[in-house]
Homo-oligomer: A and B are copies of this chain.
Amino acid sequence: MMALSQHIIVSLLRVLALGGTLAATIVMVTSHDSFHFLGFTFVANFTNSPTFKYFVAVNALVSGYGIIVLFIHPNNLGARRVLLVSDMVVTLLMDSSISACIAVGEVGKKGNNAAGWLPICGQVSKFCGHVEGAIFAAFLASLLYFLILFYSFHTLLNNFYTLKS
């Protein structure tokens, strides 16, 4: 039902996406920086923000999913429909975690005058660098998931076309 070349393309995209989500998780978890001010030590860590914790949770979860589906090659149409819907949910989760991180990261980088929130990336640049790297890796992974979604959707429909004609 599903050609070998389609299997190979989707598997390759999945391996790359898995690399992206794993990298995003590791880079975010290892983000750590501190600075001293008036005798106090401030520590920047991903656990300080619920948004960054959510990002790590989503990327770790999607990495687990990415490993499992590498071994699943459904041949019947029902199972391929289920896989396509779960890929859609994964893409939405990735999209959500990246957008949330960019929004908070933007405040960290530029601050917000109206709210009186000062930028912090000048003080904890190593931390901000990690966050940026993690967002970039997750963004690449989510693009790959979008490609997988798009490709699976069209091959699934084209298989129907082939059956029809």
Which residues of A come within 8 Å of B, CB atoms? 42-45, 48-51, 77, 81, 84-85, 88, 91-92, 95-104, 106-108, 112-118, 120, 146, 149-150, 153-154, 156-157, 160-161, 163-164
Q: State how many copies of this chain the complex holds.
A: 2
Closest 8 CB pairs of A and B: A48-B114, A100-B103, A160-B160, A96-B99, A117-B117, A99-B99, A99-B100, A51-B103
Q: What residues of B have a CB within 8 angstroms of the CB of A115 in the complex?
A: 44, 48-49, 108, 117, 120
User: Which residue from B88, B100, B113 sits with its C-beta under 8 Å from A102?
Assistant: B100
Contact B49 A112 (CB under 8 A): yes
Residue in B77, B104, B156 whose CB lies within 8 Å of A104: B104
B116 touches A120 (CB 8 A): yes
Closest B residue to A114 by beta carbon equals B48
Q: How far is the CA of A40 from the CA of B97 in the complex (A)?
A: 36
The chain B residue sitting closest to A159, CB to CB, is B160
A81: B residues at CB distance < 8 A: 154, 157
Residues of chain B within 8 A of A99, CB atoms compared: 95-97, 99-100, 103
Q: A95-B95, A103-B100, A107-B104 are in contact. Are A112 and B157 (CB under 8 A)?
A: no
Closest to A163 in B: B164
A158 to chain B, nearest CB (A): 10
Assess whether B100 is in contact with A44, with CB atoms less than 8 Å apart.
no
How far, in whole Å, are A112 and B108 apart by their CA atoms in the complex?
A: 11
